[in-house]
């Protein structure tokens, strides 16, 4: 099957994922049912027939590329209608929803496996809203009382006083795309980057008091500095860490988180090389998480959270480790996987997250378009040689997806050391696998429209 035929097939699958709420198309189910007809056919104990806010991020981006802003607006309005308006979680947006017997039914974590919450869904809302306004010019929608009130509720939730003065947002384990225990509690990278994007997007949409807008921008600026200062590592930084003193008290200390050299893993030196750098997965007092998380780093590129030198170092690191991150199916979600006793203790012996599987080092084709968007955003700061290397890497991944995804029923994720096996519990015809390929095709098209080159730019 040639490329045009595969993309035509993907578009056909995508159209079948779309569902309606209130008589209008509102978004896509997470995966096509075995019968291939929307939410029908899913067993009662599965939720793949629901509309997930997180999974619909690429769906909404693709609809904007396709000039279907009306659907995006209806999706945003539906999410607003389901935002919690009272109680301790006032301001929270739903993880997912569906229409049942003519009524909207939302999940805020109370029906999820392990009852995990999804703060990332709430953080994605203002980013998607800002993207809708940026690409349609519909400021009238953003200025509506319902939208501004929803943004205010969200600000009340994420700007609330905390025990710590740091600008980060702390969450429990499994509170974002990695939605099962994987030792990602505290201040995981993806949540911090999404918080930065959400703050910037909210400030752009805000029509209220200038003082509130300034507070939001100040928090975003403080968070950016925090991440660049404490989450960013490179070989020179690690060399410095190894020589710092410990057990330091007071204000002017060189080691504020009391990090011991013994926490630096053996694999890090080879992984970084001499010119690589990246944002680590988490930073907790005395316990840095040096794992590389692909989505958080890709979004940092999209949101201009890294300076030009850091952008170059990150992409050099990705090129250097292409065999690990791209392998036989891009893109590996986390590296390295938890193994042995660490896997048993930190995942609760989760069989779905065995080493090299699912979120514990599995490969997710839906992630590649985020990286492609980040590369386009960083392009003006890259050398011709690095830009060429990244284009080759992205095209390699694209060709792998074209070759394998139709044969592997558009699987959700892939397992194994290089992503060569379909995920053991992977669902077929996963929506963000299908639509991710379509967005990637648009981003890699030399004739791509300007809107494609500004996806997720905030």
CATH code of 394's domain:
1.50.10.10
What pLDDT is attached to residue 165? 87
DSSP output for 364-375? -GGGHHHHHHHH
For residue 279, the SS3 value is strand
CB atoms within 10 A of CB 75: 24
Structure tokens given for 376 = 């386009």
Q: Is residue 212 very low, low, confident or very high in pLDDT (cuts 50, 70, 90)?
A: very high
Distance CA 323, CA 265 (A): 20
Confidence of residue 300 (pLDDT cuts 50, 70, 90): very high
What pLDDT score was predicted for residue 164?
Answer: 83
Integer Cα distance of 317 and 27 in angstroms: 36
Distance CA 364, CA 414 (A): 6
- The token pair that represents 330 in the structure block: 């891009």
Q: Are 458 and 303 in contact (CB under 8 A)?
A: yes
**Is the backbone peptide bond immediately before 336 cis, with ω within 30 degrees of 0?**
yes
Helix (H) / strand (E) containing 233: strand 232-234
DSSP lists the bridge partners of residue 292 as 335
pTM above the 0.85 mark?
yes
- Per-residue pLDDT tens digits for 239-251: 999 999 899 898 8
- What distance in Å separates the CA atoms of residue 369 and residue 375, rounded to the nearest whole number? 10
119: containing domain: 3-454
Express as a percent the part of the chain with pLDDT over 70. Answer: 96
Q: Indicate the SS3 state at residue 28.
A: strand
Backbone angles phi, psi at 314, to 5 degrees: -65, -45
| Number of domains comprising the chain | 1
Helix/strand/coil percentages in the chain, nearest 5: 50, 10, 40
What is the average pLDDT value for the chain, to the nearest integer? 93
Q: Within the chain, what is the greatest distance between any pair of CA atoms? A: 65
**Residue 80 neighbours by CB under 8 Å, 6+ apart:** 146, 147, 150
Confidence (pLDDT) at 447: 64
Q: What pLDDT score was predicted for residue 423?
A: 95
**Average pLDDT, integer, range 153-173:** 93
Check pLDDT > 80 for residue 146.
yes
């Amino acid at each position: 099957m040639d490329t045009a035929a595969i993309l035509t097939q993907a578009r056909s699958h995508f159209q079948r994922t779309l569902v309606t709420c209130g008589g209008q198309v509102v978004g896509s189910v997470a995966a096509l049912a075995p019968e291939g007809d929307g939410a029908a056919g899913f067993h009662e104990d599965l939720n793949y027939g629901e509309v997930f806010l997180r999974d619909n991020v690429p769906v909404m981006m693709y609809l904007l590329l396709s000039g279907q802003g009306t659907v995006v607006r209806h999706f945003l309005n539906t999410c607003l209608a389901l935002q919690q308006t009272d109680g301790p979680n006032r301001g929270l947006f739903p993880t997912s929803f569906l229409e049942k017997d003519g009524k909207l039914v939302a999940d805020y974590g109370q029906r999820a496996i392990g009852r995990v919450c999804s703060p990332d869904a709430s953080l994605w809302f203002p980013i998607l809203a800002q993207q809708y306004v940026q690409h349609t010019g519909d400021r009238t929608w953003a200025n509506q009382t319902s939208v501004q009130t929803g943004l205010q509720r969200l600000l009340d939730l994420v700007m609330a006083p905390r025990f710590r003065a740091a600008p980060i947002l702390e969450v429990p384990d499994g509170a974002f795309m990695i939605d099962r225990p994987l030792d990602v509690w505290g201040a995981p990278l993806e949540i911090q980057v999404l918080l930065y994007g959400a703050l910037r997007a909210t400030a752009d949409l805000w029509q209220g008091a200038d003082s509130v807008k300034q507070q939001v921008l100040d928090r975003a600026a403080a968070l950016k500095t925090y991440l660049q200062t404490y989450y960013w590592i490179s070989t020179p930084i690690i060399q410095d860490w190894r020589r710092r003193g410990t057990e330091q008290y007071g204000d002017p200390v060189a080691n504020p988180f009391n990090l011991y050299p013994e926490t630096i893993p053996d694999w890090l030196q080879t992984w970084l090389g001499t010119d690589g750098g990246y944002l680590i997965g988490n930073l907790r007092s005395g316990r840095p998480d040096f794992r590389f998380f692909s989505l958080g780093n890709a979004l940092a590129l999209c949101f201009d959270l890294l300076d030009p030198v850091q952008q170059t170092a990150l992409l050099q690191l990705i090129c250097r480790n292409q065999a690990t991150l791209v392998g036989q199916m891009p893109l590996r979600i986390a590296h390295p996987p938890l193994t042995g006793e660490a896997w048993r203790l930190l995942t609760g012996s989760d069989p779905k997250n065995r080493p090299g599987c699912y979120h514990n080092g599995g490969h997710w084709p839906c992630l590649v378009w985020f990286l492609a968007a980040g590369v386009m955003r960083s392009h003006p700061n890259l050398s011709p040689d690095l830009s060429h290397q990244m284009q080759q890497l992205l095209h390699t991944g694209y060709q792998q997806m074209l070759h394998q995804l139709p044969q592997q029923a558009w699987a959700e994720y892939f397992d194994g050391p290089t992503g060569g096996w379909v995920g053991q519990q992977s669902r077929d015809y996963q929506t963000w696998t299908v639509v991710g390929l379509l967005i990637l095709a648009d981003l890699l098209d030399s004739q791509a429209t300007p809107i494609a080159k500004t996806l997720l730019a905030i």
